Structure 1
């Protein structure tokens, strides 16, 4: 038994004997070398392979039939070889290509008006398709439309000549290599001639001029729109840059920007220089402000520069200006980071100090906790986002005040006790402890009532070092506290047996029980 292979010819799978495969492979390679690798040659080879697949399929009764050497030789003899028709170069082409075979009816898609029925019938009967179209038109009126029904039936029933082999069969020609090559070359030549006639026609010339004219109009419109957009964008940059610089300067000088509410304006709200004195050491504020001004001002100045360039289109050495601004900006950033690093060291260590006071009220069963009046409530509060601190403007000066936190816990003795824990940071533990000792906080006790200040203060000339104040009211078991109105300002996450929120604990009595602080029911 001979060795067989499975091959794919034009999308169809075949089984072929080894010796037949070798001969077929050489034949196809010979054809490929002859026709070359251009688009026209590829199309010829594709049609030849389709014809070979068609012949093999016709010979195969089922999928088990194997292509033999005799089949391959028969196909080669039918299709012809490049050597065969190369010898016929000197003969008349019409004689060579007129190998006749039985015609088959197809629809001709290349010479169609509607479905190609008349074109296919013209090729089948060797007639001019125009004559057949005239006949169909006459029959349409003579038969009151019955001819149209016949045309539609033929359109549906007759297959379309989609391949070169089918187009040759439509004309009664054998699908040999020579005829396939000639058919495709004639089709390519016809397409080129039609395109050339179209290019030379008045329609093409007028159409091209119309398209070019329309393109010029569209280009000019877009060009004008782009120029207008660039000018508008430049004006926006100029306004933003100018008023941004104005807002920055006013923030630096008077402490706030007076153009912050204007539209299209980006103006930084920098509360300087007074507030900065609470954070950094003396002598560094002015230098730091200059660096901040450069870091914020240069981008705003760049907006102003590019905006005027877009609007007024003046010439300048853009590269030199841009590189200079970038260089100055980066130098300022490095210096500011170095300066900031020297200030960060003041937050290195943390320390605290705690003071305790026993409430002198031996016979008190209930301790009333109230908050003192907020004397800064009527003053302007600056929108300075500093955690745990508020800034008020009092008589033209900024006052820096902190917000304490109050908690209630069980007392280990039979007395009410209030502890105040002041926490601060510093460059060392000793410095942090000294800062904690200078934190100022007051509360007043009178018999069974304690009034807590809503704020704590820093000592004069002290800097902000993340100071905090924690107040703890220690309640003996069996005794009660009352949280007065306003205490929600300073109480923080007081634990109780009912998990009541801080603000809902206000205005109620709470008794310290063994299980914890418990709401006391009114009698």
Structure 2
């Protein structure tokens, strides 16, 4: 039997289970650590007021006491401190203003808007919020985008664009906390803006029960999307392993030909090297095949890593990594084409 005792939250007394109290206490402690200073204290007070309202709605619905599940639901609705804004990473401080600061300095203390980011908009969605997010990012009308998508689906036999939507659903992160909502709108990520977003974006406790049919469809698509990303990840792993195996084979062929004059492995290719007297030919052929194998390794790793970052919350590759990989891939493709053309020319005329 659980212990319950009265707790005063924002002037209202609630009976709360012991384990629920510990969870709530830890949550509020983390909030106070995240929102520091006088302004932060005001935000935490406002959040506590909203929590009190949510608990009051729960008691009005017939609950005798606040349980661990109730507190957990409130935390999910309000957002965890780490999700609210990643307070130690990238928060722009509010404009430096005090009573000793004149009006001119206050006017010049302007917080620059944050760089706009693409997120799925969970407040403007039919299924996954992809078009809601795109409309927020691009400044277009989401309904027009959905109508165009439906028309294109009909024109392309449905499944290609449905597949593309599922991939976008899995790759584009949701705007599920105030920081991401502000970034999706291009608004400054300040403590004040985050606090206001926390209070304005909290739905009533238990609101999801009214959308059970939508939730079922969304969960079904989410499962299908995860299956699809898992399949893509397996394809990436398989492509990487096969390409690595072929690269190793042609590397051995290169060493055998260049180091020992043995062309048995390289002769397994379609090129007829029996009439070629130049020792350059098998070396060029094996090098061309190695380069061709390398063309599939980087895309395979990229597919596997992308799928893993979605399914298992791996850290996504940085922009620098993506750019460097793209440059290497381009150079490898160019080298492959040149070596293949040169190898074909040698085997044809020597």
TM, length-normalised to structure 1: 0.23
Question: Which has the larger Rg?
Answer: 1
Higher relative contact order (CA 8 A, sep 6+): 2
TM, length-normalised to structure 2: 0.33
If each structure's strand is expressed as a fraction of its own residues, which one has the higher value?
1
